[in-house]
Amino acid sequence: MDMQAIIQQMAVLFIMLAAGFLSGKINLLGEEGTKALSKLVLYITTPCTILNSVMDGELSITGGETLFFVLMSLAVVLLGLAIAIPATKALGGDKKKLGLYRYMAVFGNCANMGFPVTIAIFGAASAFFVAIYHIPYILLCYSVGIILVAGRSEKFSARNLLNPSLICGVIVTLIVFTGFKTPAIISHTVNIVSGVTTPGAMLIIGASLSRIPIKDTFSDWRLYPVALLKLIVFPIAVWLVFKQFITDELMLGVLVVLSGMASGVMSTIFAIEYGGDERAASGGVFITTLLSIATIPLIVFLTVG
């Protein structure tokens, strides 16, 4: 794996993110524009990226291997919870605050950043594994994740599980199991549209970060151990544990990189929705997103490089 090429790709993603940040600051990409672009990426381009992972002819995987990866993805998130729950006890705070820290230490920005980062590192074939990873990830994010942030179980609703990424993950799994061949005109169209996902996602993240109140963000010392857990401890633990079971370098690499993604923006959304600490959630997203530009190449170098 060419580390220089990975660093260059991460630099390109950072430039895209910076462009989004600047666009947000000068209101070229305002709040309404960001919401519209988010819907475009969420409902159109990201599904096309997921579908393209099994339509571009680069993927060679059996149904058994797909099922194995789903189980490994579930195990990765459970491992993250097993690490984060005891590790965050020393941070203090009430049950809801601790729940938010635990959520941020486990659930990363695997949708918006997961696809462009893994594709930049491992190539287009990795998009399939990111899509499959979302099946157990979303099930736990919108169940256990909500309970952690809300501090009580009654806030969970099965309707929260209806997510475009989850649905497309199921569809591509069915395509693999059935061997369905997509007509060339459809696969070509999907391939073109999927190219919008990476720049679109980076612009969204950058614009969103430009509106986060960061005045007190860097003074909240608790966010630094959370960032350490999310960006360093969690992915290294995944590598140490799962290299014992996974011989496929692409599978292992995707799991490691996805576990080292910055804290997901859903932590802020859940904090707003369920009365959590919105400032801490936004600060965690901001800090981990900035640091991940450096930590992701480092993790790749130390583990799968």
Any long-range contacts for 289-295 (C-beta under 8 Å, 24+ apart)?
289/17, 289/109, 289/113, 289/205, 289/209, 289/262, 289/263, 291/227, 291/231, 291/262, 292/113, 292/231, 292/260, 292/261, 292/262, 293/10, 293/13, 293/14, 293/17, 295/231, 295/232, 295/260
Domain presence at residue 305? no
73 vs 35, more confident: 73
Asked if residue 9 belongs to a domain, the reply is yes
What is the domain extent for residue 29? 3-300
- Between CA 79 and CA 72 the distance in angstroms is 10
* Cα–Cα separations (whole angstroms), residue 212 to 22, 45, 267, 290: 13, 25, 13, 13
Give the pTM.
Answer: 0.81
For residue 134, being part of any structural domain is answered with yes
Spatial separation of the C-alpha atoms in residues 49 and 195, rounded to whole Å: 8
Q: What is the mean pLDDT of residues 260-267?
A: 85
Q: Name the range with the highest mean pLDDT among 50-59, 60-69, 95-104.
A: 95-104
How confident is the model at residue 124, as a pLDDT? Answer: 75
Least confident stretch, 1-15, 179-193, 213-227:
1-15
Q: Does the pLDDT of residue 95 top 90, yes or no?
A: no
Q: Is 88 domain-assigned?
A: yes
Q: Provide the 3-class DSSP secondary structure of residue 18.
A: helix
Query: Per-residue pLDDT averaged across 122-130, rounded?
Result: 82
**Per the structure, how many domains does the chain have?**
1
In this predicted structure, the answer to whether residue 155 has a pLDDT above a threshold of 60 is no
The Cβ of residue 3 has, within 10 Å, a number of other Cβ atoms equal to 11
pLDDT at 78: 94
Question: Is residue 241 scored above 90 in pLDDT?
Answer: yes
Over residues 295-303, the mean pLDDT reads: 89
Token readout for 185 is 């005109």
Q: Under 8 Å CB-to-CB from 62, ≥6 apart: which residues? A: 176
What distance in Å separates the CA atoms of residue 67 and residue 65, rounded to the nearest whole number?
A: 5
Mean pLDDT of 225-239: 95
pLDDT at 262 over 80: yes
Checking if the pLDDT of 252 tops 90, the result is yes
pLDDT tens for 28-57 read 988 888 888 878 887 788 778 777 777 755
User: Helix or strand or coil: residue 246?
Assistant: coil
Residue 245's pLDDT band (boundaries 50, 70, 90)?
confident
Q: Do 152 and 275 contact (CB within 8 A), yes or no?
A: no
Q: Confirm whether 142 is domain-assigned.
A: yes
User: Which CATH number goes with the domain that contains 237?
Assistant: 1.20.1530.20
Q: Establish if 245 belongs to a structural domain.
A: yes
Across residues 77-87, what is the average pLDDT? 94
**pLDDT tens column, 157-167:** 666 666 676 67
For 126, 138, 181, the CA distances from 186, given in Å and listed in that order, are 20, 27, 11
Confidence of residue 11 (pLDDT cuts 50, 70, 90): confident
Instruction: Write down the number of H helices and E strands in the chain.
Output: 16, 0
Evaluate if residue 59 carries a pLDDT over 60.
Answer: no
Please tell me the predicted confidence (pLDDT) of residue 227: 94
